[in-house]
Amino acid sequence: MTTWGGKLGDVDEEQLRQQLRTETDAKAIKRLTCALLYRQGKSPAEIEQLL
């Protein structure tokens, strides 16, 4: 499990959402979902429990 690191600061949440809408690869969808949850303030531990 990763620690809370404040990464993805320069990633736009709307760009993540747009990519998620068009993505078809299951692994990429999971990664994008994780990135969105992280940008919304969820900790890595919370994301791990959710997914």
List, for residues 17-32, the tens digit of each pLDDT value. Answer: 999 999 999 999 999 9
7 Cβ partners below 8 Å, 6+ apart? 38
Contact 45, 39 (CB under 8 A): no
45 within 8 A of 1, measured Cβ to Cβ: yes
What does the pLDDT average to over 3-10? 64
13 falls in which pLDDT band (50, 70, 90)? confident
User: Could you tell me which residue, 1 or 41, shows the higher pLDDT?
Assistant: 41
pTM for the model stands at: 0.76
